[in-house]
Amino acid sequence: MITENNYRYNSGIYKKSFYGRMINGQAVSYVSGMRYGICNMSFNGCEVIAVHNALVYMKKARPVYEVSRYMERFRMLAGFFGCNPHKIGNALGHFGIKYKKSRQIGNSEIFIVSFWTGRRFLSTIHTVFCIRSNNTILVFNRYNNYPDVSFCMNDMQIANHKEIIAVYTIKGV
């Protein structure tokens, strides 16, 4: 029931002008008031946002409320802790994105990465969409309250030198 209520609520506040736009700063963007599980996406929507951004980049854009509706089935503890990072591939596949899952970023050019924000199992998880371009990595939605793309020089900067949980390398680019 939460899923359908959230879908109705989110689709009701969504504007057509948002379609096909990358999302940054989940607490300051249009998604901040949208619901995922029992919380707002400003708190726990990073996995939904990462998948949404991958879809936009791959020219397979869908409204974020549709992505959220599908991913609600993978939420953890009623969505209080966001989405299970090991289930992101299910959403990518569902929306027609080919990927390879691993624990290393390596030479990935386009990828989603989930990582611990502090100590393993004692902190939250954050998930971002990234594009490697020349000697820089563009990181979308890196910070909750920063509305622009962030730039990193290496893989470890993305996760602030914290442990990586899962990497989804986007294929077919």
Give the model's confidence band at 120: pLDDT under 50 very low, under 70 low, under 90 confident, else very high. Answer: confident
- Helix (H) / strand (E) element for 50: namely helix 46-57
pLDDT of residue 80: 65
Q: What is the 3-state secondary structure (H, E, C) of 135-165?
A: CEEEEECCCCCCCCCEEECCHHHHCCCCCEE
> Stretch 120-144: mean pLDDT, rounded?
92
Q: What percent of the chain has pLDDT over 90?
A: 73
User: In the block, which residue shows the tokens 């502090």?
Assistant: 118
Expressed as residue numbers, the domain containing 32 is 2-170
Residues 70-117: tens digit of each pLDDT: 999 888 766 667 788 999 999 999 999 999 999 999 999 999 999 998
Instruction: Using CB atoms within 10 Å of the CB of residue 12, give its burial: 0 to 12 exposed, 13 to 18 middle, 19+ buried.
Output: exposed
Residues 55-83: tens digit of each pLDDT: 999 999 999 999 999 999 888 766 667 78
Q: Which two tokens stand for residue 69?
A: 């509706």
Q: Which two tokens stand for residue 116?
A: 């611990």
Give the chain's domain count.
1
Q: How many residues does the chain have?
A: 173
Mean of the per-residue pLDDT values of the chain: 92
> Stretch 29-40: mean pLDDT, rounded?
91
Q: 3-state DSSP helix/strand/coil percent for the chain, to nearest 5?
A: 35, 25, 40
What whole-number distance in Å separates Cα of residue 81 and Cα of residue 98? 26
Residues 156-172: tens digit of each pLDDT: 999 999 999 999 999 97
What whole-number distance in Å separates Cα of residue 47 and Cα of residue 112? 9
CATH number of 44's domain: 3.90.70.10
